[in-house]
Amino acid sequence: MPMDAGEIEKLIKDVLPDAEIVIKDLAGDGDHYAAHVISAKFKGKTRVQQHRLVFDALQGRMGDALHALALTTAIPED
């Protein structure tokens, strides 16, 4: 069963409440998304650690309810 973009955003916000999140459904099928996540919690973390925070927030739904997520992360500009 496909995931709704709102559900993806909620799961990420639960772990990164300060996050600014933009999610796009790439194929219109609820299975292939792109997400851009900006959070101060990424400061001092490598890109891999940043992505791991986001993927961990999805609680194992990657590869199941969510087939693909093209992810970019960033730290807010001061």
- By DSSP bridging, strand 32-38 and strand 20-25 are antiparallel
Asked if the model's pLDDT at residue 1 lies above 70, the reply is no
3-state class of 37 per DSSP?
Answer: strand
- pTM of the predicted structure, to 2 decimals: 0.89
Q: pLDDT tens for residues 33-71? A: 999 999 999 999 999 999 999 999 998 887 777 788 899
The CATH classification number of 5-74 equals 3.30.300.90
Question: Where are the strands (E) in 2-59, listed by range?
Answer: 20-25, 32-38
- pLDDT confidence of residue 32: 87
DSSP-derived letter for residue 2 is P
- The ranges assigned to domains in the chain are 5-74
